[in-house]
Every structure is written in C-alpha cells, then in structure tokens.
C-alpha cells in the first residue's frame, strides 16, 4: 500500500475533526492509537526517526514540512535526549534556547495501554501518558528560528515583542503542518499530543480552486499570504490586542485576502487563552534574566542590528520579511 493510500484510509476511518472536552477524549484516544498502530507495518523506515517517540515515523512518512524541520534541526547540531518529560515541564522550562530536546520514549507503553484487553478498558492511563507526549516539530522550529533571528533588544517591551513574534511564527508553522496533513489526519495527531494544530481545509481549498493556468508558485504565494495574516494576528493576540482591533488590522494590512484574511484572524483567535493570559507571560517574566543573557547580543557593532519591532500594530514590515526568509528555509 502506498503512503497516500494508507493515509487516506486512516483519515476516512478516523472521521473526527473536533475533539470533545478533555474528560471525554479517552475512548477517542484509544481508537486513534489502535488505528495508527494498525498501519505501522506500512511505514517506510526513516534514518531521522526517533525510537519510541509516539508516531514520529508516521509523521515523517506523511509530511515534507515535518521532515524538513527534522533535517534542519539535526543539520545545525541539534540533539535529542530520551527522558520522561511532561508537557507542563516543557512549557515552563527555559531550555527552549538549548540545542537539546527531551522527549518521552513511551510509544510502546501508549500502544499497549490502548490494545491490551484488560488495560484498554480504562482510558485514564492513556490520558495520563498523553501528557508526556511532546510536539517535537514545535520544539525543533523554535531552535532553528533562533539561528535565523537577529539579536533581541534588552528593554522589556522590545524583548517582549521579540519573543511574541518568535512564538507566533512557530505557532503559524504549526498551522501549516496541520493544513498540510489536512484536518482528517491532523486532528488525529493533535489528539495524540504530538502536534499542536488540528488543521484546516484552507490549503486544500486553495489547491482545488486554483485554475490550471496558474503556476504552483502562485498557489504557494496565496497560501503564504494567508500564513502572513495568521502570523500577524497571532502576534497581536500575544500582544494582548482585542479581537475587534485585530480584525481591523488584518483587513487593513491584507485587503486582497478578503474573507480568507478574516478566517486567518479567527483561527489565530482559537489559541488557548490560558497560554495567552498566563503561561506565555509568566514564562517571559520568570526567565527574563536568562533570556537577556542569551538573546540580547548587544555590543557596539551589533546595536543597530537588533530586532526592534514597531509598537504600531499596523507596521509589520520587519515581521513580514523575516517570515518570508523563514518560509523559504522551512520549505513553505
């Protein structure tokens, strides 16, 4: 069975685009693990796959963006360490700046908990194990991006904008991964906790609506425009702008996108509120001194090269240009 064939079968059999509340996800998680395990023999081996990282080989088989991120991270000297690490510890750690990523090697335990006749009767164990799943794609992209970005300004507001831009660009790349997989597959891996976005049909819609006389580069440009709108909307959300103001800004900056721009803004508005209002802010405050030491590369020769982003929400010129370089690098 070809890669596209088994992926299509998985998506059709999954048939879940929206996950229920957390306490009701156990049976779905069990079904998803069983489904992915059923098709594991169809996967092609990949030298970059991490043993026991849940469904890493599946994603490497499925998506070129996922593979490109792994290749770039390893090429720049990135290291993976198998270790028991929970999602909360990952989110609170300053290790985001280190060229080392921890991951929990729990795939066999996860699969056993889903298929064993006795263990699978209770889904509580599965939900617990999922809290140890890591989105390696997200973690890799943060570390790759640090190499691309100029130094950060040391003042509080400048550093905040710098960090929020970096986070928004990585989140936007999560969106692109979800769209590339399509919601039929992305929602499955999102439910497993190994990617951070459940995907939309935007890329599929643009592809289907693309006239034959238009080149692939034009389709790519149209989707990039959508990602640029998503990026700036996400950045403004992290900057704590209201949804009403964000819609106005996106309309002003991306008028040619029309309804697609509004979809980008609405999608960005679905970012977890606890992350926006608490996790992101507290992480920046808690690790400020560490961040200044490691990101604010200030001396007489670099002072004018720091990434000082504008306070004006209608001025996204620097963000736009850096995002274009990032999209080129990551393969979007």
Rounded Cα gap, residues 259 and 143, in angstroms: 33
pLDDT digit string, tens, across residues 180-196: 999 999 999 999 999 99
Confidence at residue 297, expressed as pLDDT on a 0 to 100 scale: 64
Predicted local confidence at residue 212, as pLDDT: 60
Q: What is the pLDDT confidence band of residue 31, given thresholds at 50, 70 and 90? A: very high
Q: What is the pLDDT of residue 187?
A: 94
Closest listed residue to residue 140, CA positions, set 168, 111, 173, 108? 173
Residues 103-161 pLDDT 10s: 999 999 999 999 999 999 989 999 999 999 999 999 999 999 999 999 999 999 999 99
Q: By mean pLDDT, which of 29-33, 91-95, 110-114 is the weakest?
A: 91-95
- Judged against a pLDDT cut of 50, whether residue 28 lies above it is answered with yes
Nearest to 69 by CA among 3, 15, 17, 144: 144
Question: Predicted confidence band at 299 (pLDDT cuts at 50, 70, 90)?
Answer: very low
Mean pLDDT of the chain: 91
Q: What's the whole-number mean pLDDT along residues 44-70?
A: 96
**DSSP-H helix ranges across the chain:** 3-14, 26-38, 56-62, 64-75, 87-92, 107-115, 124-130, 136-148, 156-181, 183-192, 202-208, 216-238, 243-253, 259-268, 273-274, 280-286, 288-295, 317-330
Is pLDDT of 300 > 50? no
Q: Rounded to whole angstroms, how far apart are CA atoms 130 and 133?
A: 5
Handedness of CA 265, 325, 282, 81 (dihedral sign): positive
At residue 61, the 3 state secondary structure works out as: helix
pLDDT at 211: 61
Residue 288 in this model has a pLDDT that exceeds 90: no
Query: What local confidence, expressed as pLDDT, does residue 79 receive?
Result: 96
Structure confidence by residue, pLDDT tens digits, 237-281? 999 999 999 999 999 999 999 999 999 999 999 999 998 999 999
pTM value > 0.85: yes
Give the rounded percent of residues in the chain with a pLDDT score beyond 90: 74
């Amino acid at each position: 069975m070809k890669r596209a064939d088994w992926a299509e079968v998985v998506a059709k059999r999954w048939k879940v685009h929206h996950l229920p509340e957390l306490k009701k996800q156990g049976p779905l998680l069990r079904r998803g693990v069983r489904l992915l395990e059923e098709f594991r023999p169809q996967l092609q081996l990949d030298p970059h796959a991490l043993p026991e990282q849940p469904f890493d080989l599946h994603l490497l088989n499925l998506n070129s963006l996922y593979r490109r991120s792994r290749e770039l991270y390893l090429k720049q000297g990135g290291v993976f360490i198998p270790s028991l690490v929970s999602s909360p510890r990952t989110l609170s750690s300053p290790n985001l700046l280190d060229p080392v990523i921890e991951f929990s090697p729990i795939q066999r335990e996860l699969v056993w908990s889903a298929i064993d006749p006795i263990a699978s009767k209770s889904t509580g164990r599965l939900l617990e194990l999922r809290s140890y799943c890591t989105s390696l794609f997200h973690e890799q992209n943060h570390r790759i991006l640090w190499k691309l970005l100029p130094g950060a300004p040391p003042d509080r507001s400048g550093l905040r904008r710098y960090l929020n831009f970096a986070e928004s660009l990585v989140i936007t790349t999560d969106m692109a991964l979800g769209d590339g997989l399509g919601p039929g597959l992305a929602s499955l891996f999102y439910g497993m906790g190994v990617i951070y976005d459940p995907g939309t049909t935007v890329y599929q819609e643009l592809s289907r609506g693309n006239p034959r006389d238009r080149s692939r580069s034009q389709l790519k440009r149209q989707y990039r425009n959508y990602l640029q709108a998503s990026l700036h909307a996400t950045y403004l959300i992290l900057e704590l702008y209201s949804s009403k103001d964000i819609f106005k800004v996106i309309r002003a900056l991306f008028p040619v996108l029309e309804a697609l721009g509004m979809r980008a803004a609405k999608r960005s508005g679905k970012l977890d509120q606890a992350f926006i209002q608490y996790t992101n802010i507290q992480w920046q405050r808690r690790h400020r001194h560490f961040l200044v030491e490691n990101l604010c590369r200030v001396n007489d020769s670099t002072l004018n090269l720091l990434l000082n982003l504008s306070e004006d929400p209608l001025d996204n010129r620097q963000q736009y240009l850096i995002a274009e370089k990032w999209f080129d690098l990551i393969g979007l």
